Structures are given as C-alpha cells and as structure tokens.
C-alpha cells in the first residue's frame, strides 16, 4: 500500500496531465500484459486475456461479445451516421463544451466541436453511451439500424453471454455506472476494480488538451514544428520517412481547409509497440512515448 502511494505521488509531481488533475491516491495495476497488440490492453472489453473472471464479476453489466474489434467495428452493416472506419458504435451527436471556453490568454487557434477522430473515442469516454452499445452483434444476425443514433437496451438484452450471466443493464463509463465499482476506495482497492475516474472525460472538455483545434501554421519556426507530409486527409510527422502515416506518427486531420488536432492525433486505440512491431506497447495507447523527454508534446510544440 505504501509503495503504491509513493509511486503515484512521484508520478503526479513529475508530469503534466493532459486530461484534468484528478489523481487517485493509489491505483491497481492493469491485469493486461500490455504486450504486442490491443488483445492485451484495456481496449479488449471481453477481458478474456487478462485472467479476470469476467463471467462472475462483469457479466451482468455489459454484453461479453467474446470478440475484441466488435465493440468498435463491424465488417458489415456499419454505422454510416458517422464517417469512422466500419464503425459499430452508437453515435449520439452530443454537443461538447470546448477547451476555449476556459478562456486562457495564450490560445490562438479557433476551437471547433470535436471531429470524427475524437467522437469515436468520446462514444465511450464521454460516459453517455454504454460500452457495449453496438449496431451489429457478432455472428448472430442481430442488427438494429435504430442503434446508429440511440442506445436501445431491449435490443442489447437479446445477446446471450458466452459465459456467465447475461447482462441486464448496459453501463457507460460514468459515476454510478461503470464507476460505481471502478472508483470508490472500497470499490477499487476492496473489490479489485481499478480506478477509471480519469478516463471518464465527460462532455466538458475544458480540462483536456484542446481537440477540434487547428494547427497554427503561422507559428511554425516560432513555437510549432511543421509536419513533414501534408496530404488532402492528413498532415503528419514522418519519423520513419516512408511517406505514409504510420501508427507511431503524430498526425493532424484535415477538414478541407485546416489540419486539426483530435484524440487520434496523439493516441492509437489499438496500441503502438515501442520497438515498432511487437513487444511492450507504449503506455496509454500513445503514438509516441512521452516518458523521460516529453517526446510526444515536443513532436508538435517547439517550446
Ligand atoms: C460490480 C462491479 C463492477 C462493475 C459494475 C464493472 N466492473 Fe470492471 N471490473 C470489476 C472488478 C472487480 C475488476 C477486477 C477483476 C479482477 O481483478 O479479477 C474489473 C476489471 C475491469 C477491467 C480490467 C482492468 C485491468 O486493466 O486489469 C476493465 C477494462 C473493466 N473492468 C471495465 C469495465 C467497464 C467498461 C464497466 C462498465 C461497462 C465495468 N468494468 C463495470 C468490477 C466491476
Ligand atoms: C476501442 C475501440 C476500438 C477497437 C476495440 C478496435 N478499434 Fe480499430 N479503430 C478504432 C478507431 C477509433 C479507429 C479510427 C482511428 C483514427 O481516427 O485515426 C480505428 C481504425 C481502424 C482501422 C483503420 C486503420 C487505422 O489504424 O486507423 C483498422 C484497419 C482497424 N481499426 C482495425 C481494427 C481491428 C482488426 C480491431 C480488432 C482486433 C480493432 N480495430 C479494434 C477503434 C477501435
Ligand atoms: C468501446 C469503448 C471505448 C472506446 C470507443 C474507446 N475507449 Fe479508451 N478505454 C475504454 C475502457 C473501458 C478503458 C479502461 C478505463 C481506464 O483505463 O481508466 C479505456 C482506457 C483508455 C485509456 C487508458 C489506458 C490505460 O492503460 O489505462 C486511454 C488512453 C484510452 N482509453 C484512450 C482512448 C482513445 C484515444 C480512444 C479513441 C481513439 C478510445 N480510448 C476509445 C473504452 C473505450
Ligand atoms: C495532445 C495529445 C493528446 C490528445 C489530443 C489527447 N490525449 Fe489523451 N492522453 C495524452 C497523454 C500524453 C496521456 C497520458 C497521461 C498520463 O500518463 O497520465 C493521455 C491519457 C489519456 C487517457 C488516460 C487517462 C489519463 O489522463 O491518464 C485517456 C482515457 C485519454 N487520454 C483519452 C483521450 C481522449 C478521449 C482524447 C480526445 C478527446 C484525448 N485523449 C486526446 C495525450 C493526448
Ligand atoms: C498533434 C500536435 C500536438 C501535440 C502532440 C501536443 N500539442 Fe499541445 N497544442 C497543439 C495545438 C495545435 C495547440 C493550440 C495552439 C494555439 O492555438 O494556441 C496546442 C495547445 C497547447 C497548450 C496551450 C493551451 C492554451 O490554453 O493556450 C498547451 C499548454 C499544450 N498544448 C500542451 C501540450 C502538452 C503538455 C503536450 C504533450 C502532453 C501537447 N501539448 C501535445 C498541438 C499539439
């Protein structure tokens, strides 16, 4: 216990937290190994490679589809209400409180509502949609077009878990739902559920690094680094010089007129191996490791 507290205090004083300042006094390490691919990360919502007894603990609160990609993608019948790759999740079209409403005097670029490459993440991390709210369930022929824009629990209830009890409620990542177990001292230290409060970003983005914000071209050479490649869809820092946007490369997403920062500028939700191909993944689904030399921040900022 003492050791956990000490480590978290050290981490809290060593760094800048891009998503708010809430820091748990002590948290549990992940049971996932964090090796090789998404299979061994927290984005594997089946939890079936972590040694967690999902059948007993989590079964009643979210459908266990037994597959990993399906919580986000489907090969057929994808959600065409949002221009995200073969997207299988409910897209509610929420309005967000953007970073600029905080009113810092330093910000120069205009901030817009989050783009698609942020809305995909927010479909779980804003806590308004259940993590298992999909349009097309795997291998079952169970499909609901209405699920594209609203969460229908009776449709979700038709799923039979492959092991353990069937889900009777479909929780989202917010207070009183997933966080009912994944937050309180009793919850996370007592029952063994890690603290997920900081991942519950909500719809107020004023304490998060701005997204939906344009790359300030006029600050290149002053305090911003110019991306190596600018295409019609992306601008990116081509660290391996192959002319393509590789997963370990930070990018901006084009809106036609400007390039913007979105969640996926800094993060790859599938995980990025440190050595480029296999082995240990960079923590926090980051594209560039930010430990020691702040390599991620300094890819864009030249401060
Ligand atoms: C009834 C309490 C409870 C609820 C509700 C609950 N969980 Fe859990 N969860 C746990 C416990 C306990 C563990 C750790 C189990 C273990 O250590 O074997 C866990 C583990 C996890 C893990 C693995 C963490 C890691 O890295 O080791 C994830 C991811 C997770 N839960 C996601 C969710 C999501 C998403 C929801 C909401 C849909 C949710 N949980 C709802 C109790 C709960
Ligand atoms: C937690 C959600 C999530 C899960 C689970 C997930 N993906 Fe993705 N995937 C995304 C998002 C978000 C994007 C879009 C990234 C962007 O905007 O640049 C994406 C993009 C992709 C792309 C397009 C190329 C790229 O890398 O951006 C492929 C291919 C892909 N996913 C395959 C998979 C496969 C295969 C699995 C299962 C092994 C999987 N994904 C699991 C969220 C997920
Ligand atoms: C299907 C739901 C879902 C989607 C979509 C999703 N996430 Fe997550 N994510 C989770 C859950 C559940 C956790 C576990 C909560 C935690 O770690 O605090 C998590 C954890 C994380 C973590 C912390 C990882 C760790 O090891 O602690 C990061 C970073 C993250 N997500 C980023 C993203 C980004 C960026 C996107 C979009 C590109 C995204 N997520 C899309 C469900 C999702
Ligand atoms: C400018 C880069 C950047 C952008 C943009 C960004 N993140 Fe992060 N994010 C980070 C870094 C760096 C960390 C690791 C912080 C740490 O270790 O505590 C992180 C951590 C996280 C975590 C884990 C919780 C935490 O703070 O430790 C989640 C969840 C997450 N990001 C989700 C998102 C989502 C969703 C978006 C879009 C709304 C987003 N991120 C946009 C850089 C970014
Ligand atoms: C993908 C490129 C990119 C990355 C990576 C990135 N930033 Fe930024 N950051 C921006 C842009 C663009 C702005 C908006 C600048 C403006 O308009 O004034 C910004 C703004 C900021 C601001 C100013 C906010 C304000 O109110 O004036 C701070 C502070 C900041 N970033 C810190 C960080 C930190 C710390 C990291 C690493 C965790 C990071 N950034 C990573 C692109 C990036």
Same domain, residue pair 136 and 204: yes
Ligand 5 site, residue 215, Cβ cutoff 6 A:
yes
Domain count, the chain: 2
Indicate if 129 and 277 belong to the same structural domain: no
Query: Is the CB–ligand 5 distance for residue 212 below 6 Å?
Result: no
The answer on 150 and 59 residing in a single domain is yes
pTM attached to this predicted model: 0.94
Q: Give distance in angstroms: CA of 3 to centre of ligand 2.
A: 36
16 — pLDDT class (breaks 50, 70, 90): very low
Rounded to an integer, the average pLDDT of 54-71 is: 89
Name the token pair of 244: 């393509």
Mean pLDDT of the chain: 89
Instruction: Average the pLDDT over 37-58 and give the result.
Output: 87
Which H or E run contains 288?
Answer: none
Spatial distance between the Cα atoms of 124 and 92, rounded to a whole number of angstroms = 11
Token pair, residue 227, equals 């991306």
The mean pLDDT of 241-264, rounded to a whole number, is: 96
pLDDT for 154: 97
180 lines ligand 1 (CB under 6 A): yes
Question: Of 174, 209, 244, which one is at a domain's C-terminal end?
Answer: 209
Both 288 and 200 in one domain: the answer is no
Residue 224 has what DSSP assignment? B
Which is the closest atom of ligand 3 to the Cα of 197?
18
Range of the domain at 220: 215-303
Nearest-ligand number for the alpha carbon of 266: 4
- Is the domain of 203 the same as that of 303? no
Q: How many Å apart are CA 68 and CA 167, to the nearest integer? A: 17
Say if residue 170 is in the same domain as residue 265: no
Residue 253 confidence (pLDDT) above 70: yes
| Residue 79 resides in a domain | yes
Pair (199, 252) in one structural domain: no
The CA 248 to ligand 2 mean position distance, Å, reads 14
What pLDDT sits at residue 95?
98
Radius of gyration of the chain (CA): 20
Please report the atom of ligand 2 found closest to the CA of residue 124: 1
Could you give the CA distance from residue 200 to residue 124 in angstroms, rounded to a whole number? 8
CB 240 within 8 A of CB 247: no
Is residue 20 helix, strand or coil?
coil
Q: What is the 3-state secondary structure (H, E, C) of 116-155?
A: HHHHHHHHHHCCCCCCCCECECCCCCCECHHHHCCCCHHH
Within-domain flag for 280:
yes
Q: Are residues 118 and 251 in the same domain?
A: no
Last residue of a domain, one of 209, 239, 255: 209
Domain end call among 153, 187, 209: 209
Does residue 17 surpass a pLDDT of 70? Answer: no
199 ligand 3 Cβ < 6 A: yes
Determine which residue's CA is closest to atom 2 belonging to ligand 5.
Answer: 300
Distances (CA, A) of 52 to 13, 195, 242: 32, 16, 40
CA distance 202 to 126: 4
The verdict on residue 87 lying in a domain is yes
Which amino acid residue places its CA nearest to atom 12 of ligand 1? 193
Which residue carries 């022929």 as its tokens? 141
Do residue 186 and residue 219 come from a single domain?
Answer: no
Burial string for 78-90 (b: 16+ CB within 10 Å, else e) reads bbeebebeebbbb
- In this structure, the residues whose C-beta lies within 6 A of any atom of ligand 4 are 17-19, 118, 121-122, 125, 198-199, 201, 208-209, 211, 261, 263, 265-267, 284, 286, 290, 296
Do residues 46 and 178 share a domain?
yes
Question: Looking at residues 15-25, what average pLDDT do you find?
Answer: 39
Residue-wise pLDDT tens digits, 151-207: 999 999 999 998 789 999 999 999 999 998 898 765 665 568 889 999 999 999 999
> Residue 50 — pLDDT band, cuts 50, 70, 90?
confident
186: CB partners within 8 A, 6+ apart: none
What is the model's pLDDT at position 70? 98
Read off the pLDDT of residues 104-148 as tens digits, 9 standing for 90 and up: 999 999 999 999 999 999 999 999 999 999 999 998 789 999 999
- Quick one: which atom of ligand 2 is closest to the CA of 262? 17
Answer yes or no: do 49 and 70 share one domain.
yes
pLDDT band at 19 (very low <50, low <70, confident <90, very high): very low
**pLDDT surpasses 50 at 80:** yes
Assess whether 228 and 98 both reside in one domain: no
């Amino acid at each position: 216990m003492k050791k956990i507290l000490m480590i978290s205090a050290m981490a809290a004083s060593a760094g800048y937290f891009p998503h708010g300042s809430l820091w748990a006094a002590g948290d549990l390490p992940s049971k996932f190994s964090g090796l090789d691919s998404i299979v061994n990360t927290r984005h594997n919502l089946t939890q079936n490679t972590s040694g967690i007894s999902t059948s007993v603990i989590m079964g009643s609160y979210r459908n266990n589809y037994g597959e990993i990609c399906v919580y986000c993608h489907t090969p057929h019948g994808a959600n065409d209400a949002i221009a995200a790759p073969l997207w299988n999740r409910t897209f509610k079209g929420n309005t967000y409180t953007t970073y600029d409403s905080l009113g810092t005097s330093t910000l120069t670029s205009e901030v817009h509502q989050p783009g698609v490459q942020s809305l995909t993440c927010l479909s779980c991390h804003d806590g308004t949609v259940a993590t298992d709210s999909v349009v097309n369930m795997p291998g079952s022929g169970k499909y609901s077009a209405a699920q594209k824009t609203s969460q229908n629990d009776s449709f979700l209830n038709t799923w039979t878990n492959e092991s353990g009890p069937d889900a009777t409620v479909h929780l989202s990542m917010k207070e009183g739902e997933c966080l009912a177990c994944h937050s309180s001292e009793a919850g996370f230290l007592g029952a063994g559920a890690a603290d997920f409060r900081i991942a519950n970003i909500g719809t107020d983005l004023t304490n998060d690094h701005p997204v939906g914000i344009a790359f300030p071209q006029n600050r290149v050479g002053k305090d911003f680094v110019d991306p190596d490649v600018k295409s019609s869809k992306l601008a990116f820092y081509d660290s391996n010089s192959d002319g393509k946007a590789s997963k370990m490369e930070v990018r901006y997403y084009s809106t036609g007129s400007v390039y913007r920062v979105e969640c996926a500028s800094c993060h790859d939700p599938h995980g990025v191996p440190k050595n480029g191909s296999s082995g240990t993944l960079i923590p926090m689904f980051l594209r560039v490791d930010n430990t020691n030399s702040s390599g991620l921040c300094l890819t864009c900022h030249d401060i």
